[in-house]
Amino acid sequence: MSYLKALADRPSPEREMIPRALLWAMLALALSALAITTFSVLTKRPHTGTPLAGTVVAERDVILEGKSAQAVTVYSADGKLLADMPHGGFITVIQNAMQRARTVARVTGNPPIRIVQYDNGRLVAEDPASGASIELYAFGGDNKAAVERLLDQQ
């Protein structure tokens, strides 16, 4: 019995895996972020880091149909085949993100998404059915170029 008491009184190695000071620092960081956000909301500070409004230069409605983990087929809104990509790369990523947004919004079917290019350089994929929007220009030049090719395709 005294052996069990000795085991119970011994400090557990799991307790020391995360130092107490680190836990307090993480709590302080979380509370600081909450305080800064609360201050910003209560004082109605203007939003920073949001994309500037621009004039639409080009837009196109497309239907993205995922075939597998990597394959995607792109159709125009009227059903004309634009691209059949066995390795769609970034286009597959967009299709997966839009499909997820539609699942969350409980959208049925596969309505078209709108790819919009603005005069200030923004390139956006918008899904009117779910309300989702992806700022595509933020993913690098190669990925942006892949989507711009869809805009230019006839």
Q: Are residues 30 and 97 in the same domain?
A: no
pLDDT tens readout for residues 41-54: 999 998 887 777 78
β 113-118/123-127 pair status: antiparallel
Rounded-to-integer distance, Cα 139 and Cα 37, Å:
26
CA-based R_g, the chain, Å: 25
Same structural domain, 20 and 69: no
pTM reported for the whole predicted model: 0.65
Give the pair of three-digit tokens for residue 70.
Answer: 């990597």
120 inside domain: yes
Whether residue 30 is predicted with pLDDT greater than 90 in this model: the reply is yes
Give CA 148 to chain center in angstroms.
19
Say which range, 33-37, 39-43, 72-76, has the weakest mean pLDDT.
72-76
Are residue 27 and residue 74 in the same domain, yes or no? no
